[in-house]
Structure formats: C-alpha cells, structure tokens
Amino acid sequence: MASATSELVFPPQANHNFSRILGDLKRSNLSVGNRLRSIRQDADFASEVSAAFGGRPLVANERCGSWYVPPASKAGSAYFKSTDGHSGQWRFSTRRLNLQLLGLIGRRDGCVVVDSTRRGKRMPDALSKTVPIWCCVLNRVLFPDADDASASHHHQLFTPPNAVSRSEHAQIEAKIPEHVASLLALGLDVEALRRQLKKPIRPVWVTPESQLVPTDTVFEDFHPVICCTSSRRVPGGEMSEGGYIQGAADDTENWALGLTPPVFWRHADLLLSTPEPDLPGLVRSLVADHAAEADTSSPEQVAPCLFVGCLPLAGQVSPSTCTVAVYSKTTDPGSWVKSPSLMEVGVGKHKLASRNLRLALPSISDFVRQFLERPITTDSDPLEGSSAGSSEPRRILVACETGKDISVGVALALLCQHFDGEGNFCPRSPSSGHTKSDIRVKLSRIMTQFPEANPSRTTLQSVNSFLMG
C-alpha cells in the first residue's frame, strides 16, 4: 500500500545535501567565465547605445563602468557614486566634481555615461539620481538667468519616473539650492566652465529594455547626458538566465583574481574561449605578466610645483625634486628620511593606513618645508642639479601605490600648509587656522587639475584631523 506523501520524512542529511547542491549551482552560475561573457554582452549593448545616439562618446562611470567600455572606445571617466544618490542622502559631491566632462560634452554634443547595477534593480542610483543632481546644479550655476522662460526650464530637476517616485523627486529638488551654494563656495572660474558648453545639459536614460532607434538627432535645447545602464535586469535568480549575470563586474575583489578592465580587454578573445577549469590559472598568469610591465604613467600636476604619482617611481628622480613615497607596509618612522630630498613612509593598508597617515603627516609636512626653505646656492646645489646656476625648478612629488588616493591626501595637506591661493610656496610657519571650507576649496582645485584622483573618505578624514586638530 502506498504511503501518503504527508507521512514522508526526509532525513537531516538529505536537507543538508540539497542546500549544498543549491550552493554549488549558484557558485557555478556566478563563475568567472559567466561573468566575463556577461560583461562582453553588456559592453556590446553600450556600444549600440553610442551608435544609436549618433556616435556620442562613451564615458565609463568608475570603477564598474570601465569593464563595459573597451579602452579603444573609452573617451573618458566619471565618478558619479551611487551612495550620493541613496535615499535620504542626495548629495552633490564637491569631492567628485566631474568637471572634466564639460569639455567633452560641449565638443561632442553630449556623451554616454556607462554603468550597471546588481540583480533586481532597473538602474543604479548613480544614473537615476546622482547624475540628475549634477546636471541640475551645474545648469543653475552656469546658466543662472532664471528670468528667461527657457533658463527656468533648464533649472528643473529631471529624474526617471520609473525609478524615482514623485515624493523622492520633490525631496531631492528641495536640496538643490544648498548644492548650488556649496559649488559656488569653491570659487571656481564659472565663466571658463560656461564657455565649454553651448547649451545646458540634461540626463536621458537608456536600459536594455529601451527601444533603440538609430538617430543623428541634434537636441536643440540641451546637450544630452545619456545614462546607459548596460546590464539587463534579472528579477529572479541567475540560474534561470543561462549563465547571464546582471552587474557582473561588481565586487571584483571577490571574483576577478586581480584581473582589471585593461587586461581583460587586451586578452578578451583568449579569456572567453578558455574552458572554465583553466580560467583561474590563465587569469593569474595574465595579471602577473601585466604587473611585470614597466609603469610609464607620468606624475599629475595639481599645483605649480606639486605633483602626485604612482609607485614604483620610474627612473632616477631629479635632486631638485622632493619625493615623498607612501607605501602600504608599516615601517619605523626613524627610517623614513632617506636623503634631504627623499622620504619613504610606510603607513600600512586600509584603516591602519588611514590612522598612520594622520600620525605621519606632521613629519611629512616638516620634511617638505625644510626642503623648500633650504637656500639655493649659486654653485653646485645638490637640490638644483650638478651644474652651477641650474635653473631647474624645485618640485614636490608625492607617490602612492595607486597614485589617486593617499598621495592626493598628502598633496592636499601640503597645499593647505605651505602654499598660497595661487599654489605658490609661502616661506612661513604652517597655518593652523584651517576650516573645512578652506580645505574643500583646495581639494576642488586638485580635483579640477586631476579628475582621476579618488581620495577615500578615510584619507580625507585623516587630512582634516591633521589640519584642524
């Protein structure tokens, strides 16, 4: 006699095995191979969007966006953070001004900003809210004549109604005046920025659900900032998508094995044709080969005599350059000064680096000041080269492992301590009367000169603590 199904009892081990099998299936669907194939598919869509909008240039919203834009097609980078668009936050970041986009937008009548988001969401907050805030604030600053009907229209906030509710839209719009005030407080050359544009800017949204119709349309009233969500929305689990992963490039530290967008795109065909079991070994090999290549990137100038760069330092550093190299290993402060023009500071990694940077900044500041105050002799000056009367100018170079984080924080501290508003050295005692507003103004000037700079919040907190403590 058959037993009733209600009388069936599965042993605990069966439940355990079932959970393990589901976990294995999920991991196999989230494999490196599936992620790379999904990235390639999403990148193809981003290229289609550019073509559909008359070939407008592709801009990667870092960090994720660079995976979806082949380097040969990448016209620039942006740093619109989703956290600035999170509910209740709605910030205009004076740390990430993205003003480098204005020239590109003006020359090419707009651009396509590429980003993605993880499973379930239609588009990332960076594209649905942070970019619209940015457009609205800049329009009000660069096109301030609100008495004109068209200018008043361009002062409006535009958000996608399928992603931002009317209530949230109203709350975001209520904060726009304070964002405008914060931008104006930076004292930027508004007229110079205005000359880069022919008309106001406005966001336009495109997702894989959109109907793309190729067009060479010229938007008469505004430059379009086309917010392209490259990943197709997956409402359920990836197991039903045949290996496709929405937002596959997210969380690279958990899956990429050190692979970066430039290395991926350089070897995309090889990676995508390699069997899954062989991929980890291939990736590690490619990453190691890339790391062995010489770094030819040049330091970035952030003030008349102040530069930031990436480690390792290439070639022989000039004796007229005061070099501060900040390493991600902890070292004894007594060993930091290597010569009158070279300081190697070991602060460690992550939160430890932030705490140690705060403690190291007084020593770094004193070292740089002593270098700049040392008199220049008319004879063979070790700081000015080997020949008498050398005219080579003195420079300050701060380098870290990325060239964009801690080095920028150190440069900001030095700019506040030892340089005037024009970026010229002030041979006097360091000022202790810094305010957050003053520091923010100096940071905005660095970010304008070096848009790719990306100092972390903890780095900036260390700098603020040093300057205001």
Q: Which residues contact 343 (CB under 8 A, 6 or more apart)?
A: 322, 323, 324, 325, 336, 337, 364, 367
Average pLDDT taken over every residue of the chain = 86
Residue 222 is classified by DSSP as -
Decide: residue 243, CB within 10 A, 0-12 exposed, 13-18 middle, 19+ buried: middle
What average pLDDT does this structure show over 389-411?
86
What average pLDDT does this structure show over 439-467?
92
pLDDT at residue 21, as a whole number:
44
HSE toward the beta carbon, residue 298, CA cutoff 13 A: 4
What average pLDDT does this structure show over 422-441?
78
What average pLDDT does this structure show over 459-465?
94
Specify the amino acid at residue 62.
E
Helix axes 457-468, 350-373, angle to 10 degrees: 50
Given a contact cutoff of 8 angstroms between Cβ atoms, the answer to whether 206 and 226 are in contact is yes
Q: Which residues contact 284 (CB under 8 A, 6 or more apart)?
A: 257, 258
Of residues 10 and 371, the one with the higher pLDDT is: 371
Specify the amino acid at residue 18.
F
Q: Give percent of the chain with pLDDT exceeding 70.
A: 83
Judge whether residue 51 has pLDDT over 70. Answer: yes
Distance (Å, whole) CA 163 – CA 292: 45
Q: Which residues pair with 299 in a beta bridge?
A: none
pLDDT at residue 253, as a whole number:
85
Q: Which residues contact 362 (CB under 8 A, 6 or more apart)?
A: 466
Q: Which residues pair with 346 in a beta bridge?
A: 327
120 — pLDDT class (breaks 50, 70, 90): confident
Judge whether residue 377 has pLDDT over 70. Answer: no
Number of neighbours of residue 251 by Cβ within 10 angstroms:
13
Q: Which residues contact 289 (CB under 8 A, 6 or more apart)?
A: none
pLDDT at residue 4, as a whole number:
54
- The full set of domain ranges for the chain reads 27-256, 300-375+382-468
Lowest mean pLDDT among 15-19, 24-28, 37-41, 246-250: 24-28
Per-residue model confidence as pLDDT tens digits over 211-241: 887 766 778 899 999 999 999 988 766 555 5
Lowest mean pLDDT among 237-251, 297-311, 429-443: 237-251
Q: Token digits for 420?
A: 């005037």
Judge whether residue 432 has pLDDT over 90. Answer: no
How is domain 300-375+382-468 classified at the architecture level of CATH?
Answer: Alpha-Beta Complex (3.90)
Number of neighbours of residue 338 by Cβ within 10 angstroms:
11
Per-residue model confidence as pLDDT tens digits over 141-197: 999 985 566 656 889 999 999 999 999 999 999 999 999 999 999 999 999 999 999
Query: Tokens 């070096």 identify what position?
Result: 450
Distance (Å, whole) CA 320 – CA 307: 13
Per-residue model confidence as pLDDT tens digits over 338-365: 999 999 999 998 878 878 999 999 999 9
Number of neighbours of residue 355 by Cβ within 10 angstroms:
15
Judge whether residue 113 has pLDDT over 70. Answer: yes
